[in-house]
Amino acid sequence: MPGRRPPLDPLDCGGLDLGAALGLLCTGELTVTGRMADASNATLYCEIAAGAVAGRCVYKPVRGERALWDFPDGTLAARELAAYEISAALDLGIVPPTIMRDGPFGEGMVQLWIDTDVTVDLVALTRSDDPQLRRIALFDAVVNNADRKGGHLLPAPSGRIHGIDHGVTFHAEGKLRTLLWTWRGRRLDAEETALLRCLGTALDAELGQRLEPLLTVTELDALGARVHRLLDEGRFPLPSGDWPPLPWPPF
């Protein structure tokens, strides 16, 4: 689309552009320097370096995951990567660069660390009608995000808003639970409709092939059905009466 911002702003991640960030995540040496104690699964803060290129990232090893009764298939790490693949296909830069690779505690998700603008009031942000949040709300409807808390939004120094923590996504049943209901029931605009059409086409081609190792057949079928339903209805979804519409805690 004309005027689209690059998917990654170097101001937000130590000067790396998208290509350099993905290369570093794939080939760099991980050094664990901390753990995020408030995370329910093992979430490790790492320094990563490959020659003269260095950065920071989050590493979530599969062996550190806690089993979830309502997400019995696959891994949280695989769904995190699948969410990045959808974000990359939409070309909106929502999910930071993410890969799967081996690390100090085995295979896991590795995601580029994004600096945040600590002056931003997250409560006020989630109640705003920022157009970036509208795109995240659409993304969440596509991936069926069951846990869009305010703390999973990262307002970065460049002004971009990223979304993280997508381990509970892609369920075949409707489980959308989010703070971003501002646009519920509103009509999709022309750009959103075009994005969904492109996504539907991509799911039938290379994107669908990349997602096959990450999601079950049922989850993939449900993903395609959600995209087509959004296009058919032409509106943002409404909260479901069969599932709590808000995450708890909300932040």
On whether the CB atoms of residues 112 and 98 are closer than 8 A, the answer is yes
Going by pLDDT thresholds of 50, 70 and 90, the confidence category of residue 74 is confident
- Poorest-confidence range of 31-45, 154-168, 201-215, 230-244? 31-45
- Going by pLDDT thresholds of 50, 70 and 90, the confidence category of residue 240 is confident
Q: For 146, phi and psi rounded to 5 degrees?
A: -95, 10
| Distance, C-alpha 128 to centroid of its chain | 20
Per-residue pLDDT averaged across 238-248, rounded? 88
Q: How high is the pLDDT of residue 1?
A: 43
Backbone angles phi, psi at 81, to 5 degrees: -65, -40
User: Does residue 247 have a pLDDT over 70?
Assistant: yes
Q: Which residues, at least 6 apart from 224, have a Cβ–Cβ distance to it below 8 Å?
A: 200, 203, 204
Confidence of residue 2 (pLDDT cuts 50, 70, 90): very low
Determine the 3-state secondary structure of 162 from DSSP. strand
Contact 12, 114 (CB under 8 A): yes
What is the three-class DSSP state of 99? strand
User: Which pLDDT belongs to residue 243?
Assistant: 80
pTM: 0.94
Cβ atoms of 36 and 43 within 8 Å: the answer is yes
For 107-130, write each residue's pLDDT tens digit.
Answer: 999 999 999 999 999 999 999 999
pLDDT > 90: what percent of the chain?
84
Q: Mean of the pLDDT values across residues 220-247?
A: 94
Q: Report helix, strand or coil for 197.
A: helix
Distances (CA, A) of 60 to 32, 93, 103, 106, 164: 11, 21, 9, 10, 12
